[in-house]
Chains A and B, each alone.
Chain A
């Protein structure tokens, strides 16, 4: 089963950290990514640029409205995701718990929909 682990964090908090703190965090990320690559569980993942560069798009009555956003810098933002394929949901939760952002912010584990189907 594939799970997407959504990483939420607050960039302002990171900016307030020391270089050592940030390096330690990246070290943890590298170690975990290496482990997931070697185990064949890592399917993909991306880090997202800061949300201040985001564009919110809505089409209402055929009219497109594109606005910059979100601007609330004090809030947690979607910072990236990784997709893993695990034998159990518990394993996906364990990986999320070991992702360093889980200690300071929030990780969300979501099952990915597939196109297989059982005979009903």
Chain B
């Protein structure tokens, strides 16, 4: 994911469309996916040198088809050499395209996305395959972004393709009965890609934040194809409103700056305006869903000039709605923060007591961190200090640990 040169944006946009066209014609999703990657690579070398072809899409389809033919020929030759069973008719080289169906202007991006987020795949495999087949990223780029060796990422992608084959997944849009569940999976994968980039702090892994740009780009592509879906719009709005805060959320050396202390003049106003307009439109028109509620919460934060000036009763009410339609202890935890801001720290601490009893967040650093903040607000510095220290011990994030340790150090030792 290094500086994209001229054709790169176009290539990435065309990647799933070209893959869709080739799979539609020849089958063999796994082999087609490799062939399209090779075609993208060839284009990135040849177009800047020889000029962009008149029809970039047709050029890529032709080159990918040729690569696929080479691959299938090599495979059937290997099979012949091994003198195994008769030639698999599916493995013959691609025939010419008499009906011209490859040229037709069908956008298969959504179909490819549904296949990459097939329920037979593990979460990490869905993410890796989506970034490669839909995002047009190379395996090396994805590996760098997820901080694993390239061989590990290559294995995840190849296993994902095997799983798709083994599951007998068809290259078609899911039917009405499974549509909602499958779209949920697609949106969740895009959300995870976004989050992986957003939580990255500046530091040794500078390419990771570009995952947010990639997730936003893919969410825009899905919204172009499903403009009336409120959750698709909600997710895009949530990403934009969250991303808007990124310039302000870390300080020198990647130190975390909490929402309350961020320099709001550094928030991205254009992204906020776009996200706010999107979520307002979705809330007015579509049935309510969790991404829309989260976007609405982000919009309330975005419109406040200061942390104190935030409409906290509104944020608390929205978290209440979220806790109804998509209940989870993490949502309750966030609601506790908003309730504390709206009604005072003790009201928040009461909600934490319910989470203690629930037990699902036991040993989770976020519970201890929120408790620490609320105890500090409630004027119990020693108890707050203990809770910060416990949170610092529990987190597996170095920037969070530095932040929590520093908060603890500001407070006096002893008893409240």
Contacts and interface: CB of A to CB of B under 8 A. Distances in A.
Interface of A: 1, 37-44, 85, 87, 111-120
A39 B157 CA distance: 10
A115 B204 contact: yes
Interface of B: 122-125, 128, 147-149, 151-153, 155-156, 159, 196, 199-201, 203-205, 245, 249-250, 254, 256, 258-259, 366, 369, 373, 396-401, 403-404
A119 B256 contact: yes
19 contacts: A1-B396, A37-B155, A40-B128, A40-B155, A42-B152, A43-B148, A43-B152, A111-B396, A114-B396, A114-B397, A114-B398, A116-B200, A117-B201, A117-B398, A117-B399, A118-B400, A119-B245, A119-B249, A120-B373
A113 B152 contact: no
Given A43-B148, A118-B199, A119-B256, A113 B153 contact: no
Nearest first, the 3 closest Cβ-Cβ pairs linking A and B are: A40-B156, A117-B399, A116-B199
Nearest to B369: A120
Contacts of B401: 113
B366 A118 contact: yes
Which applies to chain B's interface (DSSP): helix, strand, loop or mixed? helix
Given A39-B159, A85-B148, A119 B259 contact: yes
A115 B259 CA distance: 19
Which applies to chain A's interface (DSSP): helix, strand, loop or mixed? loop
Contact of A39 (B155, B259, B404): B155
Given A38-B155, A85-B152, A112-B396, 6 more contacts: A43-B149, A87-B122, A114-B396, A116-B200, A116-B201, A117-B399
A37 B153 CA distance: 10
Contacts of A87: 122-124
B385 to A, nearest CB: 16
B398 A115 contact: yes
Given A38-B159, A40-B152, A115 B403 contact: no
Contacts of A116: 196, 199-201, 397, 399
A117 B155 contact: no
Contacts of A1: 396
A75 B369 CA distance: 40
Contacts of A115: 200-201, 203-205, 254, 397-399
Contacts of B403: 117, 120
A44 B147 CA distance: 12
A41 B148 CA distance: 10
